[in-house]
Amino acid sequence: MPENDTREPARHSIRHFSGLGTMQRAVSLGSTLLALLAFVVMSGVALAQSPQAGAAGSAQTKAVAGSGGEEAWRTGLNTNTISIIAGHPSETYLEVVHDLAVVLNSENLRILPVSGMGGAQNIRDVLHLKGIDAGITSTHMLRYFASTGGLGPTLDQRVNYVAKLFVEEMHVVVGTAIKSVDDLAGKKVNFSDLGSTTQITARDVFGLLSIPVQEVNMNQADAITRIKSGEIAGTVLFSGKPVRLLSGLSSSDGLRLLTIPFTPTLENTYVPAELEADVYPNLIPKGQTVQTIGVDAVLITMNWPRTSERYRRIAAFVEAFFSKFPELRREPRHPKWQQVNLAAELPGWDRFPAAQEWLDRAKRLEPAQADFQQFLAARAQKRGTRALTEEAERKLFREFLKWSARQPQQR
């Protein structure tokens, strides 16, 4: 892909990634910073859209409106369009990218969710597939390919992360005759499609558990059918709960979700997780949970040069994504957004610069936001006033920031 030749030169050597699963989540943004993201950025104060991106979008809109030419229209259509490679329609990746499109699409930004082949292939697609700007994969896949060199050297320099997302739980669907993961020894178990995240990760998990199985590879719908017929013993799927395909299954079909113990051999790479009855009511008895393990999903992009058009478009996407993040955490968006912490870091990898700069600016404004909340509380107590509407609070905060900027610095 020609555009890839313009990426920034290497800045440091590749690192070896091992034992990183025990590194826990970074400190949560908290209610103060989330409030800041909600109305400081969207109001255009200090965290406004970059002048470069805004000017390009505005100029292009005027050009399209005035020319009426097909070429100008085509150029305008592509100015701020971002294609994000996700996963199978029945899995979580595509659902969360669709949420991004619903919340972020505007006159100046359009998100195109692209059905993909899963996290492993998504890294390849971000690196090489023409027209793909970003993608979702798992942190485990990034570390796997960085340590093996399977996608070439210096992967950690070629790929940046925008944000860590949510935990992808390991789902193991089996027939009711299988009582424990040890019962799968020597039996046929589907590890999903060849080269998929599930295949690579399932091989690792069963290897660490020292449970030899007969691996077969097929899509999940076919695997479920063959479990019912007794042709295979089970199927493995790594995906954020709830998985639509599994939500339609029932214990009356002779199926159940299998417990995966969090053993010492797994704790350096994976995190403990669980599947609840309210998520899969037809597979898990009411009031019970199924213990399992998980890996973190992450949104990635190329390490584009700051002067490139691709960098500008990704930066515009980051601005919209981070500023409208609170909207993604509301219903009816996917429940996995509740787990996302925009400030969480991915050790060993660089965050896309525009994303890091956005978070740095937000962090610098956090004390002002805390002061503002104290001001509102004192104002309400003194005057006995009712709570402000969201729009009124944004307006007042803009005035508060302007006033604060004129005061002597005491911090």
pLDDT, tens digit, for every residue of 259-273? 999 999 999 889 999
Residue 83: enclosing H or E segment and its boundaries?
A: strand 81-85
Pair 333, 99: CB distance under 8 Å: yes
Using only C-alpha atoms, what is the Rg of the chain? 24
Distance CA 370, CA 216 (A): 55
Q: What is the largest CA-CA distance in the chain?
A: 76
Percent of the chain with pLDDT over 90: 59
Q: If pLDDT is split at 50, 70 and 90, which confidence band does 216 have?
A: very high
Cβ–Cβ under 8 Å, residues 352 and 318: yes
Q: Which residues pair with 81 in a beta bridge?
A: 110
**The token pair that represents 304 in the structure block:** 């584009």
Place of tokens 């995240």: 197
Place of tokens 């229209």: 73
Which of 61-75, 134-148, 206-220, 310-324 has the lowest average pLDDT? 61-75
The DSSP symbol for 44 reads T
pTM assigned to the model: 0.75
Q: Which two tokens stand for residue 130?
A: 């023409």
Residue 26, pLDDT score: 37
- Residue 317: beta bridge partners? none
- Cβ(296)–Cβ(139) under 8 Å? yes
pLDDT, average across residues 123-146: 95
Average pLDDT over residues 36-50: 42
Distance of CA 140 to the CA centre of its chain: 14
User: Cis peptide before 367, with omega less than 30 degrees from 0?
Assistant: no
Outline where 129-176 has alpha helix (H): 139-148, 155-158
* Lowest-pLDDT range of 34-43, 84-93, 150-159, 402-411: 34-43
Instruction: Report the DSSP pairing between strands 188-190 and 289-302.
Output: unpaired
Instruction: Give residue 4's pLDDT band: very low, low, confident or very high (50, 70, 90).
Output: very low
Strands (DSSP E) contained in 240-342 are 255-257, 271-276, 289-302
Cα–Cα distance for residue pair 369/252, rounded to 1 Å:
53
Identify the structural domains of the chain with CATH numbers, from first to last.
Answer: 2-166+299-361 (3.40.190.10), 168-296 (3.40.190.10), 364-399 (no CATH)
| 237 and 205 Cβ atoms separated by less than 8 Å | no
For the cut 70, the answer to whether the pLDDT of residue 241 exceeds it is: yes
Residues 250 and 275: beta-carbon distance below 8 Å: no
Tokens of residue 313, six digits: 């478009």
Q: Which residues pair with 189 in a beta bridge?
A: 215, 234
pLDDT, tens digit, for every residue of 369-396?
656 666 666 666 665 666 667 667 667 7
What number is the average pLDDT over the span 174-180?
Answer: 94
Closest-CA residue to 50 (of 273, 361, 285): 361
- Rounded to whole angstroms, the Cα distance separating 57 from 63 reads 10
For 105-122, the pLDDT digits (tens) are 998 899 999 998 888 999
Structure confidence at residue 195 as a pLDDT band (50, 70, 90): confident
How far apart (Å, rounded) are the C-alpha atoms in residues 52 and 307? 10
Specify the residue for token string 């299988």.
178
Task: Report how far residue 309's alpha carbon sits from residue 7's, in angstroms, rounded to the nearest whole number.
Answer: 11
